Structure 1
Amino acid sequence: MAAETLEFKAELKQLLHLITHSLYSDREIFLRELISNASDAINKVRFDALANADKLEGNTDWKIKLTPNAEAKTLTISDNGIGMTREEVIANLGTVAQSGTKAFLEAAKQAGKSGEAPGLIGQFGVGFYSAFMVADKVTVVTRGPGSPADGTRWESDGQGAYTLEAAEKPARGTDVILHLKDDAKDFLDQWRLRSLVRKFSDFLEHPVTMDVEKEVGEGEEKKKEVTEETLNSRKAIWLRSKSEVKPEEYDEFYKSLTHDSDGPADIIHYAAEGKTEFKVLCFVPARKPWGFDYEEPVAGLKLYVQRVLIMDRCEQLLPTYLRFVKGVVDSADLPLNVSRELLQQNPLLDVIQKSVVKNVLESLGGMKNIEFDKYLGFYKAFGTVLKEGLTRDWSNREKIADLLLFESANTEAGKFTTLAEYVGKMPEGQKDIAYLIGESAEQLRHSPYLEAFRAKGQDVLLLTDPIDEFAIPQLGEYKGKKLVAADRGEAAGGGDVPDGDKERFKALLGALKEKLPDVADVRLTNRLTESAACLVADANGVSAHMERLMERMGRDSGTAKRVLELNPNHATVEAVRTLHEKDAADVRLDLYARLLYEQAVVAEGSKVSDPVAFAKRVNDLIARDAKAGA
């Protein structure tokens, strides 16, 4: 039969332009699409053979073969799958509108308006046309099961027409021959093909092969020999049960996945069964990868569908606060968009994510309870990241809170406690969980804000991660106990000040407030037992530590006025009161007022606005005291 030229529908040019220029971030994806199609074709004939064994024709050596031909500038992808009859070729490759082109283009048009991904590759059947990203002509030679010995040849340059003719094809299956463009010759390189197969199709059930020429023998007997090499490992260990996988296999897979030289801290491997079925294999790293803190904070797991890599990092499967987790999810139930790079919004993604998050948090909890030293190493690397979940994952806040570790005023330096342990050790009468945020635990241990808590036998959590200012208030409470900042006005400081002290210091407090425009108020406190003064923020005010963080981030919002609290039982404060009572106009009161404020600024970890003037005031005081005692 002579070759017959047929016209494509008018939409084809739009379709090819869209696929070539819009849908794929990297045109190397074409190989994944064609290998995936070949794998589907093999699975189809295997399924059909369950009802009709004759369709196998004795051809059951299942494989997908790549044949690069540098001389002809072609790359052939062959399979012994279901193949196609002439009518099926026209239906599947020729009459594109029957594959849903109009619907596809409309979906793509609407998606462009909404910013979402276009339609589904499974729905519209246009993955084959990704071949035109790298080829200026595509030839397909195919024969279906039970067809005449002659097959069908389909050929097109994608410009509006295609030709059909009979072709010699003794065996069932399909050959897709790509006549590569000049700028796509790198896809003839065997090393390039091998790396792409390992990247996208390494865990495909069926072997992907290629003829490789190697030298065999030695000396004069050395000769070149062509052997068929399997390019994919076909070792999808996540499809095996956990009991069947050796520890060294997990380590090898983890290292190939992450390029980490060490093994993982923990392995999460399970199969979800029921209405939704998927396989999960995730790893918790033991240490922070190089560059982790400087990368864009994006989470995601590798997404496979029937062992074919669809997305290298599917963000919908993992929240960003678990971005240190690496691994794969394999599901056959997910609808994919036309590029196989983005997924259509689907409730199944939420189901999978919830399952993964639940299992990761349970795994971390088990490690904390059973292998604390290992967990401590993990937490020092990723604890800050984990805390992000307090602000983003409302449903799991308490589970995340149970995983947090803290230094505290009552723990040894370098030792840690948990919220559960803190609550369990709270003395009778303590209602709230107290915490203090600052630059370092060592600095916080000497803070005046701890004095009243120590006096009452109460512990205070010492927080030093920048995120603590945002995350801990989001947590709000734990096990019914409110979390309260020790440097806030409402923090438990030991009860109200006696009325007698209030009356004795009333005049001084008024005078100091006039002399110190930097503060919102001056009042007495019994939160201090050793120090003379401290600064506190009101319940809704900005803390000094938050101000310092914002300044580092280039978001200087100005200095909020805080409250200066004085210890009425401190000798210095009493001496100032006595001086004011004796002579309210004494010039030394200005000096003492400023020094009380500035020492409180230093104690909270901030810098005084004029350190030179501060140093001069201290030196003048030393000189005066030394002279008086001489």
Structure 2
Amino acid sequence: MSKQGKIGVTSENIFPVIKKFLYSEHDIFLRELVSNAVDASQKLRALASAGEYKGELGELQVRVSFDPEAKTITISDSGIGMTAEEVEKYINQIAFSGAEEFLDKYKDDKVAIIGHFGLGFYSSFMVSSRVEIQTKSYKEGAEAVHWSCEGNPEYILEPGSRSERGTDIILHIDSESEEFLSKDRLTALLNKYCKFLPIPIIFGKKQEWKDGAYVDTDQDNQINDIHPAWTKKPSELTKEDYIAFYHQLYPQTMEEPLFWIHLNVDYPFNLTGILYFPKVKNQMELQRNKIQLYANQVFVTEEVEGIVPEYLTLLHGVLDSPDIPLNVSRSYLQSDAQVKKISNHIAKKVADKLDELFRNERSLFEEKWESLKVFVQYGMLSDEKFYERAAKFNLLTDLEGKLYTIEEYRTLTESSQTDKDGQLVWLYANDKETQYSAIERATAKGYSVLLMDGPLDVHAISQLEQKLEKTRFVRVDSDSIDKLIAKDEQREVSLSSEEQQALSQIFQARLPREEKRNYHVTFEALGEDADAVLITQGEFMRRMQEMARLQPGMNFYGELPEGYNVVLNSDHALIKRLLSEEQTSVEPKLGTLREELKAQTELVEAARTVQNAKKADEVTAAEREELESLSYKQAELEGKINSELQRFGQETALVGQLVDLALLGSGLLKGEALARFIRRSQELL
């Protein structure tokens, strides 16, 4: 029997649609055709198990071969095969209502059309100018069938030449797709898509090194592992098996995983898999999309967002679920109830595993904490339920490397680090070297200091402050230690406003002039034994800027200049000495100017009082001009006084030395300024 006909579609444009619409994913054809061949083999095995097929199964395999001269790729199986009627049903009738509706519905999701609409076989036309099928059904008395199509609705169906049960799909590769007529390219695709299919996939022969070259042996080259670790029961696997499978998944990875979670769920959904926590030597090594998603051992994707919570995309491993369609859109994943159940289950299993390890093997958990920390923090920040589960094993690290749960650290610090307002203050550093001086001042008081130098710590701190009652975090160098944990009312600064203004100008003269960095002089009575000058950075603004660097939506804070407080200790002998020297050498020159400024200030205040007593429209132009002239003269006098004070600051080596010491203690003295400081220090010695 020979027959010609048209494939059952309502639009003759379906083949151009396939080629154009799937072009960027055109290598997927091999997955689809090999998967179909595997399905045909498994169906035959199922029929034999049910007693519906009495013949010999033989060696169920799928063979992939290519002929670069003939420009063909052939996928062969010994599965159930097809009769002419089945070819008509499964190949010639494509259930589409029309190409126009099809394009409109899936214009934003080109991947979704394969598999989801039974187009697996037709993906072959993405790379072929002609496709042939040679097939023979397993059914007794069935005749071989040959089907051929050149990428349009016309096809030929006629008697075939295949003598044994099964199917050959022969692709005549078009000129634009000749890259696939390469052993290396096909090997790469088979390893990507077919590495764990449940039927042996044969591609060529195994090779051996002989006479200076690799040559084929007589042994078939099976490219897949038909029984990968995730398909087995945990009781059947050893630690070595899990580690070996990890390296099978990631052959370029030298490190062993920290530990793993074996998933095996059959209700209310089907899910198997193994998730590995990778060892993280530094935060730059974190990589997403290392989890491979399979459906019945058929590779689907490494982009598992929507199936796995975002924070768990940092894990490695395999998930396999027939309940997740092979090709679905992201919007489908986000809305599908079954997928949400799977996602929630995975998150719970990960939290349970971490909790179990913490409770039963805390020392081992602590050894792994440096790598686990980013996973745990990311989960707590992303998922409220995960936060609730993880709060009991989330650890804080002090500067000595000791690890505490939140409750353990509260018990340790509650008595000593609660301020006069009942707030528990947790001090932290994110750079032990540059913040050393501030750390030393805190530890001298008997306070504990945490190390918070991870990429997510600034966000984790803000979250914990919201969750924990009457608890706040402050960086150890964000203020003087007596202000960070205020026990009593602060001692008052004994300097007059005129003395403070004089010292402020003297020190401003020696502070760096830097782009995007401001310094503001303040005064505190810190005691005679405290440093003469401290440089601190306010907690709120600094934290906002740190968060802005990690969070694009906070760019406003990132653009603001860094602000530092230069704290002068009014109790220190060196500050008193400077003030005394200023009063001896500068104040005599300023006496007349200060008297003039005092008189001018009184005139300005009097004029302003007159204007404030009137409505805005009642103030005359002459009155405005007079106030402006008086204010200008006031500012001019202030400028002359400040110039004299700043000249004193510039000429006094002690001022420069105190400023540089404070900058050095805060890690802000670098480059040329550091070199000048060293030279000046030598001169003073």
**1:106 equivalenced with 2:98 (yes/no):** no
Show the counterpart of 1:534. Answer: 534
Show the counterpart of 1:463. Answer: 452
Secondary structure of 2:435's counterpart equals helix
Q: Output the CA distance in 2 between the equivalents of 1:129 and 1:269.
A: 36
- Counting only pairs closer than 5 Å after superposition, residues 197-236 of structure 1 correspond to structure 2 as 197-209=190-202, 212=205, 228=220, 230-236=222-228
- Counting only pairs closer than 5 Å after superposition, residues 107-506 of structure 1 correspond to structure 2 as 107-112=102-107, 115-117=108-110, 119-144=112-137, 146=139, 148-169=141-162, 171-182=164-175, 184=177, 187=180, 193=186, 195-209=188-202, 212=205, 228=220, 230-259=222-251, 260-288=253-281, 293=284, 297-318=287-308, 321-337=311-327, 346-367=336-357, 378-380=368-370, 383=373, 387-389=377-379, 391-397=381-387, 407-408=397-398, 411-412=399-400, 419-428=406-415, 430=418, 431-438=423-430, 440-447=431-438, 451=441, 454-455=444-445, 457-465=446-454, 467-477=456-466, 479-480=468-469, 482-486=471-475, 487-488=477-478, 491-498=484-491, 501-504=492-495, 506=497
Q: Output the CA distance in 2 between the equivalents of 1:90 and 1:187.
A: 29
Secondary structure of 2:76's counterpart equals strand
Show the counterpart of 2:665. Answer: 603
Q: Output the CA distance in 2 between the equivalents of 1:405 and 1:118.
A: 42
1:322–1:118: structure 2 CA closer, same or farther, 3 Å change rule? closer
1:90–1:604: structure 2 CA closer, same or farther, 3 Å change rule? same
- Counting only pairs closer than 5 Å after superposition, residues 537-616 of structure 1 correspond to structure 2 as 537-538=537-538, 540-542=540-542, 546=546, 557=559, 559-576=561-578, 585=587, 591=649, 599-607=661-669, 611=673, 615=677
Deviation, 1:444, is 2.5
Deviation, 1:38, is 1.9
Q: Output the CA distance in 2 between the equivalents of 1:254 and 1:101.
A: 45
CA deviations on 1:55-80 (whole Å, 9 max, x unpaired) are 45544653323344556443322334
Contact 1:121 1:338 in 2 (8 A): no
Amino acid at match of 1:87: E
Secondary structure of 2:542's counterpart equals coil
Give 5+ residue unaligned stretches, structure 2: 209-214, 509-517, 589-643
Contact 2:425 2:485 in 1 (8 A): no
1:255–1:7: structure 2 CA closer, same or farther, 3 Å change rule? closer
**1:3 equivalenced with 2:65 (yes/no):** no
Q: Output the CA distance in 2 between the equivalents of 1:382 and 1:293.
A: 14
Q: Output the CA distance in 2 between the equivalents of 1:30 and 1:273.
A: 30
Show the counterpart of 2:38. Answer: 39
Q: Output the CA distance in 2 between the equivalents of 1:418 and 1:403.
A: 6
1:165–1:261: structure 2 CA closer, same or farther, 3 Å change rule? same
Show the counterpart of 1:90. Answer: 88
1:580–1:228: structure 2 CA closer, same or farther, 3 Å change rule? closer
Deviation, 1:93, is 1.8
CA deviations on 1:64-102 (whole Å, 9 max, x unpaired) are 233445564433223343433333322322232x2x363
Q: Output the CA distance in 2 between the equivalents of 1:544 and 1:178.
A: 60
Show the counterpart of 1:220. Answer: none
Amino acid at match of 1:567: N
Deviation, 1:611, is 2.4
Amino acid at match of 1:522: T
Q: Output the CA distance in 1 between the equivalents of 2:454 and 2:383.
A: 19
Deviation, 1:121, is 3.4
1:369–1:433: structure 2 CA closer, same or farther, 3 Å change rule? farther
Deviation, 1:226, is 5.2
Deviation, 1:360, is 3.4
Amino acid at match of 1:356: I
Deviation, 1:4, is 1.6
Show the counterpart of 1:63. Answer: 61
Amino acid at match of 1:534: L
Q: Output the CA distance in 1 between the equivalents of 2:525 and 2:425.
A: 20
Q: Output the CA distance in 1 between the equivalents of 2:344 and 2:263.
A: 14
Contact 2:229 2:237 in 1 (8 A): yes
Contact 1:202 1:232 in 2 (8 A): yes
Amino acid at match of 1:354: N
Indicate the larger mover: 317-326 or 118-127: 317-326
Q: Output the CA distance in 2 between the equivalents of 1:303 and 1:401.
A: 30
1:85–1:535: structure 2 CA closer, same or farther, 3 Å change rule? same
Deviation, 1:254, is 0.9
Indicate the larger mover: 149-158 or 189-198: 189-198
TM-score of the pair, normalised by structure 1: 0.78
CA deviations on 1:445-466 (whole Å, 9 max, x unpaired) are 3226x625642x3212133345
1:424–1:339: structure 2 CA closer, same or farther, 3 Å change rule? closer
Amino acid at match of 2:453: T
1:495–1:573: structure 2 CA closer, same or farther, 3 Å change rule? farther
CA deviations on 1:325-383 (whole Å, 9 max, x unpaired) are 2100010100232799x978634444333333343344445555666676566444574
CA deviations on 1:386-435 (whole Å, 9 max, x unpaired) are 64555544543466666666553xx53x5555544422311426242423
Amino acid at match of 1:151: A
CA deviations on 1:6-34 (whole Å, 9 max, x unpaired) are 35535353x43343344364533222111
1:179–1:9: structure 2 CA closer, same or farther, 3 Å change rule? same
Secondary structure of 1:269's counterpart equals strand
Deviation, 1:277, is 2.0
Deviation, 1:161, is 1.3
Show the counterpart of 1:218. Answer: none
1:599–1:303: structure 2 CA closer, same or farther, 3 Å change rule? same
| Percentage of matched positions with identical amino acids | 25
Deviation, 1:278, is 0.2
TM-score of the pair, normalised by structure 2: 0.73
Deviation, 1:138, is 0.7
Show the counterpart of 1:219. Answer: none
Deviation, 1:200, is 1.9
Contact 1:149 1:170 in 2 (8 A): no
CA deviations on 1:178-209 (whole Å, 9 max, x unpaired) are 22335656656666555543432232222223
Amino acid at match of 1:585: E
Contact 1:7 1:161 in 2 (8 A): yes
- Counting only pairs closer than 5 Å after superposition, residues 612-623 of structure 1 correspond to structure 2 as 615=677
Provide the alpha-carbon RMSD of the alignment.
Answer: 4.6
Q: Output the CA distance in 2 between the equivalents of 1:610 and 1:504.
A: 34
Amino acid at match of 1:572: L
Q: Output the CA distance in 1 between the equivalents of 2:205 and 2:83.
A: 32
Contact 1:49 1:55 in 2 (8 A): yes
